[in-house]
Structure 1
Amino acid sequence: MKDGGMEFRPDADDPKRVHIKGGLPEGVAQAEITFRARGGWPGSRAVRRSGAEFARLSTTTLNSQGGWEITSTQLALEEAAEYIRQVRRRLEARDAEIRRRREAVDLRCPSCGADRAYIGTLGFITANTRILSDEPSRLDQHVVQQHAYRCESCGSMAYFADGYLPHPLPGGHRS
């Protein structure tokens, strides 16, 4: 079951593993908490939280050479629960900030004052120019996704880069 930036396996009530991709401390790309009990190979086995004796936290960070580094730490069950609570608090703060930013966007047309309507995602092709020429290089083309809003009265457009805010924005009804 997914919960924002966390995925509980097999379920949130009594998981064996918690995969975390959002709400992590600075520098940590992803983390996993595995609930464990002594026995099995290599000395402990993954069990549901209700039968766990301890937890193992594995974090993935980017090292100074640009490669990924995985660090594993043994935690007491209460420490693991506190780590999950901290992640939830960061996710809630992130969601509140996104809501605040979304609600702050004014989708009224500056020309005529009418509300703009969401028309979907458009792809813009971008490219660097060739050396010694103003022609675009075909080898260097990229498609940049933009969320588009159009004024139904005068046709003016507003674009928002993909990946920053969830779309459609409040007030930007679909046309």
Structure 2
Amino acid sequence: MKFFYPAMIGFTALALSACATTPANLPTAQAQLQPTAGNTATGLLTVVQQADHLSVSLHAQGVPPGLHGFHVHEHGDCSSADGSSAGGHFNPTKEEHGGPHAMHHHVGDFGNVTADANGNVDFTIDIPLTQLTLDPAAPNALAGRSVILHAVADDLQTQPTGNSGARLACGVVTLQK
């Protein structure tokens, strides 16, 4: 009996700490970004669906310093050397291209990310579920699409792409649970 109580206390503490660090059944998705031909950019996109939004984060490396357009593209296909197999911007609502906080924009317009002097990107954005969701049955589903990191900054105006140049890296978004 003298070992029972310390063991129970230890087990309870372990169980409670696990609950504090693990979200309860929140849908998640990831995409491993791989470089297109002649480029070195790689990264990991992580998406967690919250009650009313998607929490999106990108951690990348090997990216030329500066601003780069970052978008969801219509096809979950990164098989071509230049990333063109991903198709155009994901735009099921047929809106004009714009920044992620503009009144009118593609649901996949994430705006620009910044690569530091060492080529590292740490980017986060919250996207309303009315714009994108991880529900694979929804017309605005992110899962099964690709994400593209572009060579230059998105000007947030030029139609239909923001004039963000070539595709540096591509990854397909897949549900994790």
Pick the TM interval, shorter chain: under 0.3
The higher-RCO structure (CA 8 Å, 6+ apart) is 2
TM-score computed with the length of structure 2 as normaliser:
0.22
